[in-house]
Amino acid sequence: MTPLVTLLSLLVLGAQAQHGAEWTYSEGALDEEHWPLEYPDCGGTRQSPIDLQIKKVRYNPSLRALNLTGYRFQRGEFPMTNNGHTVQISLPSTMHMTTSDGTQYLARQMHFHWGGASSEISGSEHTVDGMRYVIEIHVVHYNSKYNSYEEAQKEPDGLAVLAALVEVKDYAENTYYSNFISHLEDIRYAGQSTVLRGLDIQDMLPGDLRYYYSYLGSLTTPPCTENVHWFVVADTVKLSKTQIEKLENSLLNHQNKTIQNDYRRTQPLNHRVVEANFVSYPHQAKGYLHMRNQGSRVEPSLTCHPLDSGSLQA
Ligand SMILES: *[C@@H]1O[C@H](CO)[C@@H](O)[C@H](O)[C@H]1NC(C)=O
Ligand SMILES: *[C@@H]1O[C@H](CO)[C@@H](O)[C@H](O)[C@H]1NC(C)=O
């Protein structure tokens, strides 16, 4: 292409982006590299996700465990929607979390990020020492000092996300996920909704919720607002390979393409410090064990590929 043609095509792409093209991760005018064109915060300096570099994490013994209330089984109907980017479950504000500094956050929704575009690609958003996990779960909350999520999302101390990483456990079905996964086929097309009857979020989260990483960041999707207090749980959720493949292959986006690799690349830490309320977490000292292996067994060997392609592009 001549420079003029290149310039023209950039202008056209820019114009499309300005006119409400739907954002994507990797295709079209508004892929993640171009989010800042339409959503300036996405180009900010405290963005999420990040790579959690264990050696640089600061142990803070005054950080206490999160106090989670209402996360246990609740009766009722919980809407579950394919929004074209992910599957999202609406949560009741009777579910809340009080953080170590006493701030209370009410739950709003829970959604997932995954990979799947080729058999060995994982899709978590946060990485640990460069390792990408297979799936990441986000439970989104808003500060209870605001009247609603809509109000809180504009405030500098508005949001908190409890994040958990998923690893594959080849043949062990996680029955706490069976109901959720069996409903995915009801919401194949973007915009479709169904309901889950009864919900136990605590069962869908890691068994040990005491230990976490904490830092200040942003939403990982547009508008990438920089008002999220992140809590990434150190323990992981285990799902079977079949369950993971179900999540990776069940849902279509607005263009009727399978939703895969719906994760954002890791963002610069800049001057931020990641804190943790533990010194070393046994599992994550050998983070390479968490990767999805191509074979059916995960061997404790350093010879397996240390990084997937996604994390190299951070
Ligand atoms: C946790 O929060 C609930 C309700 O918000 C409160 O009743 C309970 O005392 C708290 N527990 C701890 C250990 O702080
Ligand atoms: C997606 O597929 C459904 C069902 O075949 C169809 O009704 C819809 O128009 C399709 N959407 C697009 C954008 O092609």
Q: Is the CB of 257 under 6 A from ligand 2?
A: no
Q: Would strands 74-82 and 193-199 be described as parallel, antiparallel, or unpaired?
A: antiparallel
Q: Which two tokens stand for residue 93?
A: 């504000």
Q: Is the pLDDT assigned to residue 117 strictly greater than 50? A: yes
Instruction: Please state the atom number of ligand 2 nearest to the C-alpha of residue 254.
Output: 13
For ligand 1, whether the C-beta of 94 sits within 6 Å is no
Give the pLDDT band of residue 282 (cuts 50, 70, 90).
low
Ligand 1 centroid distance, CA of 249 (Å): 40
Alpha-carbon distance values, 232 to 211, 212, 252, 253, 286 (Å) = 9, 5, 28, 27, 17
45 lines ligand 2 (CB under 6 A): no
- Say what the pLDDT of residue 283 is: 57
Distance CA 294, CA 118 (A): 11
Identify which ligand lies nearest to the alpha carbon of 98.
Answer: 1
**Ligand 2 atom 13 nearest Cα:** 255
On average, the pLDDT of the chain sits at 87
Q: Which atom of ligand 2 is nearest to the CA of 252?
A: 1
Residue with the smallest CA separation from ligand 2 atom 10 is 256
d(CA 194, CA 182): 11
Task: Please work out whether the CB of residue 69 comes within 6 Å of at least one atom of ligand 1.
Answer: yes
* Distance (Å) from CA 233 to ligand 2 centroid: 38
pLDDT (mean) for 72-93: 96
pLDDT in the model for residue 78: 97
Q: Which residue lies with its CA nearest to atom 5 of ligand 1?
A: 69
Q: What is the pTM of this model?
A: 0.85
The answer to whether 159 touches 141, Cβ cutoff 8 Å, is: yes
Residue 126 has pLDDT above 90, yes or no: yes
Asked if residue 172 has pLDDT above 70, the reply is: yes
Determine the distance separating the centroid of ligand 1 and the alpha carbon of 67, expressed in angstroms: 6
CA of 72 to the centre of ligand 1 (A): 14
The residue ranking higher by pLDDT, 305 or 46, is 46
CA pair distance 273, 117, nearest whole angstrom = 32
Q: Which CATH superfamily is domain 23-296 in?
A: Alpha carbonic anhydrase (3.10.200.10)
Ligand lying nearest the CA atom of residue 257: 2
- pLDDT value of position 20: 55
Chain segment 10-42, per-residue pLDDT in tens: 444 444 444 457 899 998 899 999 999 999 999
Give me the pLDDT at residue 284, please: 56
Question: pLDDT digit string (tens) for 135-157?
Answer: 999 999 999 999 999 999 999 99
Lowest-confidence region among 16-20, 128-132, 168-172: 16-20
Q: What is the rounded average pLDDT of the residues 233-248?
A: 96
Output the CA 256–ligand 2 centroid distance in Å.
Answer: 6
Q: Strands across the sheet with 127-128, in order? A: 51-52, 127-128, 131-132
**Is the distance from CB of 41 to CB of 65 less than 8 angstroms?**
no
> What gap in Å lies between CA 115 and CA 121, rounded to an integer?
6
Q: How confident is the model at residue 200 (pLDDT cuts 50, 70, 90)?
A: very high
pLDDT higher at 121 or 84: 84
**Catalytic residue IDs:** 85
**Is 175 near ligand 2, meaning CB less than 6 Å away?**
no
Enter the tokens of residue 122. 């994982």
Shortest-distance Cα residue to atom 7 of ligand 1: 69
- How buried is 277 (Cβ within 10 angstroms: 0-12 exposed, 13-18 middle, 19+ buried)? buried
Give the pLDDT of residue 230.
98
CB of 98 closer than 6 A to ligand 1?
yes
Give the position, in ligand 1's atom list, of the atom nearest the Cα of 67. 1
Residue 68 has pLDDT above 60, yes or no: yes
User: 95-120 b/e with 16+ CB inside 10 Å = b?
Assistant: bbbebbeeeebbbbbbbbbbbbbeee
How far apart are the CA of 139 and the centre of ligand 1, in A? Answer: 19
Lowest-confidence pick of 15-29, 191-205, 238-252, 257-271: 15-29
